[in-house]
Amino acid sequence: MTDRKPNILFVFPDQWRKQAVGFLGEDPVMTPNIDRFAKESMFLDNAISCFPLCSPNRSSMLTGRYPLSTGVTTNCKLGLDIALNADEKTIGNMLKDAGYATGYIGKWHLDLPEQNREPEPASGARHWDAYTPPGEKRYGFDFWYAYNAYDRHLAPHYWKDTPEMIEVDEWSLQHETDVAASFIRNRDKEKPFALFVSWNPPHQPFGEVPDRYKAMYADMELEFRPNVLEGEAKRQAVEHLRDYYAAVTGMDEQFGRLLGLLREEGIEDDTIVVLTSDHGELMGAHDWTEHKNIWYEEAIVVPCMFRWPGKVKSGRDGTMFNSVDLVPTLLGLADLPVPDRVQGTDLSAVMREGVLEPPRRANPSSAFICHYPGALSEHREAAESGRNINAFGWRGVRTAQHTYVVKRPFGSSATERLLYDNMADPYQLSPKRIDDLPADAAAGKLEGELRHWLERIGDPFMLD
């Protein structure tokens, strides 16, 4: 009898922050299905988005490699030739090679916008969107029902295997869950499956949520985190906060449908289920709304849960877990080899049932976080001046206690260092500005951690 590999269901909504999980008691959001699932899962309290922006972090989540290595150093958008490197291997390639039936549903956002090449694509793709044809650009995902990037949650569209756009008059989460359910019901039962479901909500536009979910929060008195200060960002958050919570509750309902289907199909115990996100959302914190591309907790800390009944322990764990660790950890749980090119760490030993003392010494003590300049004007200026644009931006490390960030704006020769003690100052209201690095022991240690990560990745960012 052969040892059959587990199925994999990997669900990742866009822009869902860790604070918006009901049982944690932070945001007043209703997530009953996710709360139950979390109790059955390994819930990772320190799951970090290494680059809290859609395309860069998706590239890391699906390859196990940092954005500088994948070539996705900003969003795949109009005017820039930025897309996932042609020679990359994603988890789709790896699992397909291991005999899995692979599928991808929803937002992709790793392809070049078609309008970068032609003004009127036959597919009808507009702005940042693209039809990704069958072949190598799907990176191992055989079943395909997806789009690149287009934010119309109540009137979404998709492509399968031809340029003919499939337009839908239904909330994207509900429709994509229907498609996922069909994939699972009609699977080849002789093979394990690996299905990746990429929901766009709760990403903006926040108001595009069915009324039945909005009604749940219509009379809710708004409460804001202490780092949401008076100003324009708070005014915008007042408009959007109830809708954000409504989208999360709707997402919870659709996730519950998928879990129920696994039970109905009798494959709950044979399926690794991962629920996570690419990054969070500030929602008024630190004077930002509709924003995430920064080092604050609301942006970089994401929900992350692994469930495999009888094989993965349930409970909460504080291991530092970066986006790049998703691929090697999934491969480790499935007893598959981790390719040498993968830069993340296999942390499956932390999760496995029956491993009483997992080898934590080898685990990362920090998570590398980063941002590379992405504005079109900056890229044009870099091309004209010969500057390496990837030497600028900000880099940092997040540990169990601290966030340490070094900023170097594009074109600047000056750096700014910020140290946050997230234990003493959980809302990050009082950063310590480091002007004399040798005089600050904590900052000096974290600077060493950051230097280690930069060297390991081959990042040209200039600390000195």
Measured distance CA(98)–CA(119) in Å, rounded:
40
Is residue 301 left, alpha or beta, with left meaning phi > 0 and alpha meaning psi from -120 to 50? beta
Residues 69 and 343 sit within 8 Å (Cβ to Cβ): yes
Measured distance CA(382)–CA(92) in Å, rounded:
34
12 Cβ contact partners less than 8 Å away, ≥ 6 residues apart: 61, 196, 197, 198, 199, 274, 275, 276, 277, 278
Residue written as token pair 């600077």: 447
At 271-281, the pLDDT tens digits run 999 999 999 99
Using CA atoms, how far residue 68 sits from 60, 113, 330, in Å, is 10, 20, 22
Using CA atoms, how far residue 290 sits from 53, 153, 169, 238, in Å, is 12, 16, 25, 12
Residues 301 and 369 sit within 8 Å (Cβ to Cβ): no
Which tokens go with 242? 């109830």
pLDDT at residue 1 greater than cutoff 50: no
pLDDT of residue 213: 98
Residues 111 and 83 sit within 8 Å (Cβ to Cβ): yes
Q: Poorest-confidence range of 246-260, 283-297, 347-361, 388-402?
A: 347-361
For residue 302, how many C-alpha atoms fall within 13 Å in the half-sphere facing its CB? 31
Which tokens go with 117? 């090449």
Measured distance CA(93)–CA(136) in Å, rounded:
9
pLDDT at residue 33 greater than cutoff 80: yes
Residues 341 and 89 sit within 8 Å (Cβ to Cβ): yes
**Residue bearing the bigger pLDDT, 164 or 362:** 164
Mean pLDDT of 283-304: 94
Kindly list the structural domains of the chain, giving each domain's residue range(s) and its CATH number in brackets, ordered by start. Answer: 7-359 (3.40.720.10), 367-457 (3.30.1120.10)
At 404-434, the pLDDT tens digits run 999 999 988 899 999 999 999 999 999 999 9
Residues 72 and 55 sit within 8 Å (Cβ to Cβ): yes
According to DSSP, the β-strands at 101-107 and 143-147 are parallel
Confidence of residue 43 (pLDDT cuts 50, 70, 90): very high
Mean pLDDT of 303-314: 98
Q: How far from chain centre, in Å, is Cα 376? A: 23
SS3 87: coil
Measured distance CA(228)–CA(224) in Å, rounded:
6
Quote the pTM value: 0.96
Helical residues (DSSP H) of 218-231, grouped into ranges:
none
pLDDT of residue 363: 72
